[in-house]
Structure 1
Amino acid sequence: MNLLRGEQFDPCLLSSIQEDLLIMKILRIHDPNDRYKIDARQLLHVVESTMHCISPKFSDPQSNYMNSWNVEVFGLEEKLGYTIKKISHEILCKCHENGDLHEETMMLVETLGPFRWDAKVVLTLAAVVSIYGEFWLITQLVHCNSLAALTAKLKQMPKELNMITIQLKALNLLIDTMIEAANLVLDFEGLPLQQQLLDDDTIVVTKSKMYITVYWILRSSISCAYQIADFGTLKDNQVHSNSTTIAAWTLFSLVYKLSGLCNDLKEKLRTCQMQIGRKFPEKIRNLFKMSHFDNQEVLRVLFSLKNDLPLKDSSLEKYYGIQELENKVVILLLSKPELFTSEKIFYLVQRMHDHPLHKEIEGSYAILWVPIPYSQAWSLTDEMNFQFLSNSLPWFSIRQPWSLHSSVVNFIRQEWSYKDEPVMVVLSTDGVVTNLNAVDMIWLWGAKAFPFSTSKEKELWEQENRILELLIDGIDPLLTNLVEEGKHFCIYGSDNISWIKELNDTFKKIKNAGIQLEAVYVGYRNPSKDAENILDISIEDNLSVSLSTTKMKLFWLRLESIKNSVARVEQAAHYSSSLQKVLRLLDACETSNDWMIIGKGLSTDEMILKGREVQECLNLVLGMTEHVVKLGLFSAIRGAMGSPLPVKPCYHNEILPAEEGLLSEETVVCSRCNRPVEKFIVYQCNVTETAEEKQEAKID
């Protein structure tokens, strides 16, 4: 084997015509298989981590890339390790042939023909670094490990490597330059919408530079492998000769060549990035102004420009392309990598995944989690949070959210007003934004809110007529049972333990009087440490039913969502009685620390009280026990809260439509005196007499 094989120190520069011919040959050989998908960026991080172990001068990417060891490969008929091994074997075989270096490089290009440009360079680097890493592993252990010593003996490795320090330095420098060049190739291949956003001249010139750079990376890899293989055949007298210095200068010449190519490609890449940086934001904005047949183009531009399988479904442990979301309403869950608090995460799963309607419509919509960190860069903590949660949630997430283009992230922040608080942007089946934030309606109605558009939110409020049920839906089975059993119950909140005790004393008196009324304490907004003390006292004294602190948070989450949702549809309040009630409830919670809403399960009638009104109302109820037993609690309360009862009968008639009057189970209250009225049935004939009938009546 010829140690000096390869280029001399002053490499022969190819003319432009020779470069064009070389590019034509490379392109004829280049025949990528669309099924072969290798995450070149991840594999390059493994290469860099390996070189960091060999030489500390190499930066360690592991600190910023938690998942670098899990290189994702799709479509290959063999394992990635076997593919790298085959490339290593082919390179090493050429080391013993003394052939033409250019021809051997072209043969390697042909071997890598089915792979994309980024995969070509990274697979070759992985092959060379694996050879180099094995060599260094043996040399580091040769003096302290018998297996390493015996292996070094079998490979006939030199005993002393001090005299080839300059050669090792040149080898490290060349691999470092090759990694830099490979990163530039990956950066160019990762540019979005090259054909649409780049000028024709720019893309042609840049691609030509990239093809030549790929060629020299592969050629340099073969030269590196030559010298690594030579280390195992060096005689002691060669170690101390000038041949190692000359071999080192051979590598330095390649460093010089590749450095020049890197500078040229870096300049061209910067021009491409500037053009795309100017045009890509406008491209995204225009995308949402156009009509589309489906949602595929929109999702591809946002999430699938750098990755053919951008979606991760951890429940099935599979990766998917955006075609999996075709013909579906897509809910983009935008949040920081830690998403929600744990109780909110479980509640969201309950509202969407475990909802009774989920099985009926699960094929019609999909949630896609798009985590965006607070800062521009992903920290190790961000990655750990994302990996843990994305492996636990029963919906899609972006598989590599750190690879999202900065223009996409900026668009989300600016056009969709994402400010680090979780939002849910809804895309229709044809890629149109139908709701900029469906979080509140999903908290309130869950899967029932499908298709989660703003028009659906208004429709739900028009149909909503049970405020008590809306307040407690999905929080606690006990509360659900109170509704389903049609019981009278009240929900109250306060931060005043004296008021709570006084109120519960009244509840006991009401129950002792034979009046059925369940009371549920839900805490107060923004609770302090005193909240747990109040809860403990309430439970100890058995004052009323108390929710756990977690469920209290969910109650106030629902109340906050009601507030936000009502603010969006408040213009519809003039024709929605339920919205009017909600506004009164929100006012009570905002203006008083002590409030109560009282009603009956499955009923559409509720009463909202605040401050002193609560105790006054319940005290009046105690003085009307007979009326409560006869007419029902809610009707008695309405009467008690009205004007004083007149001494004489009122005799006012309340006329209701037949269907409402006969079928209603609710007690009707007189509009004048606020007392319950007795039910009578009146039949009225509205048939008009004919002329003959009138004449006959006169004769009679």
Structure 2
Amino acid sequence: MAKFPTPELEYSIDEQEIIEKLEAKYVRKNRDFEYKHLMDVIKNIFHSCNLVKNGAPIPLENADYELKDDIRYTINKLSWKITCNSACEMEIDKTVHELLDFLSGFSWDATVVLMLAVLAMNHGELLLLKQSTGENRIAKFVQKLKNPPPSLGSNEDLKLYVEEPLKNLVDQMLGVAEQLVQFKEQASTQKIELSSSLRKVFCIATYQIVQSVVKCISSTMEFVKSGDKYQDFPTKIQQIIRSCRFTAFRDYLKNSKFFELEYNGIVWAFKQANDVAKLLLSIFNAKGNLIRQFDGINKMKSVLLDDFQGNTVGFFITEFNVKEEDFSVLKDTYNQVRENGFEILWIPVLDQSIEWKDELLDDLEKVARMMPWWSLTYLLSRSNPVWWYIKQDWQFQRTPMLVVLDKYAKVIHTNALPMVNYWREEAFPFSMETEVMLWREKSPTIIKIIEKIQPLPQIKQGEIICVYGSHDMSWVHDFLCFINHLEMKDAEVKTTNIYVGTNRRKQISKKFGNDQNSIFWCENMMLRFWRDLENVAASKMIQGRENLVDAIKNEFATILSYDEKEEGWALMFNESSKFILFSGKQLKYCWKNKKDWMGKVHKGEDIMNAMTEYLQPLKLGREHCIHLAGPTTINNLVVACPECGRTMEKSFVYKCCVK
């Protein structure tokens, strides 16, 4: 079960003892007892007795509703037990345990409903007796025998004085009972078990309600016995309220229901859904004021759930202050495939580290106006169960993601954004199967990524193309000196060098110096290269456990790792498309020790093979050389380093999505 921010409820020593005794003694059974209508009857009685603070009597859905005989018998027997024990002045605690023994076949929530039915019946009888004296001679004579409390009469001051504390008690007990009932009903629908902390609350809340009902009926009997000496009754009711924690139980259950049951309700909704519009209505309570779309600059359209009907739908999940550059490709792709039945809903998420301010809604609207698709009109925060679902089930961190649902509301990809960013409309309908097919049929390579940005020159025999990158200009200078020296003096090999910059966005290097054999990409080309590289690497790793080993062995993840950890890197390939990837340290080692391996080149060996053979012993002897930020859902996989072959260590990687 997912963990939520609902803290454990703290209990006094007495409460802990009660919980331990009750949990040890009673294994509560869930007897087949439909008490929804009974709860409505109880509320109506309390309303009629003026013991509910707010609201109006609830109209019964079934006016002919009747209790089963065994339930009616149970309620009456409970009332008799309380009346008899009170008349015999039996200890309250002993009576409570007798009642709990008698009700051991019922769940805690059913026990609470039955006890409130006893209180409602008891007080309702007194009210009926008082109100019927003018119409019924029998009632008039019975009233003389029963002597109902004077608060039920015409003395308004006395009525207010006596009923106000009783109203507070009933209101608090009803509040707890409603939360218990709602909680249990929803848990039963979703087929989930209550956590141990919730079972404790059910247990102690039930105990205190049973105890309060017994005390209340006993006090009422004393009130009847004393006639107009009513002064002690309000004080006793207030003591009952002070001795219980109904407000704390109600709030705890309400919060727990919000975080736990509604979260599981979302899980259940995704499992049961067969229609996107109904799913949106279920998880977002999606109405016109919760989802909107900007048409042009200022015109805003309210959502029509029919717009999602029968379409493939993408949930674009980002932080609320996402930049337009992070969804520019998705925007173009959306405009291309929208007519094919594709809609997007932007779900802006508020990071838990950011303090809420009203001005954030203005920022939210500014971003929404840049998007051609639908968006929520509010921010998802950690107080929303959808926030928890996105974090825990879809593993959203901070990087934008695109969860895709087919027209039957089934999730077909938990993050299609890398695939969309690389293959664009070609990847529609953006399912995992489509992604696997694209990898199988189109098989992206580093050369294809480069040629998408700038076609490579025709490679002649004996020529080498060298793609390199670095954030360290001194390393770049030394590397170019090494390459030029190879061309002019050492190996007389022809090279074309392409500088692609660095993935450290704020350190994109500018063109420097004059080098006839070097091509320096502009900043936009560099950014596109690194984004494509990231998207392809992420696409491979997203496909799952069986593809992670393969993904880490390719050059995409390795280049990203070199850029993060090394001074630089270089990828060299020749006319046969054979390529070799070197890290900055390896290249430095090569140019400082040219005399140790250059002899093989002079004898006719390929220069890339000569460098690789020379570096092989160095690889085997060095420390772990690659780091990888992989999918968080894959946590037990043992992966070998593609550079040295040793087992990679696992550790947490904290990475901000803004470079």
For the criterion TM > 0.5, the same-fold answer is no
Give TM-score scaled by structure 1 length: 0.43
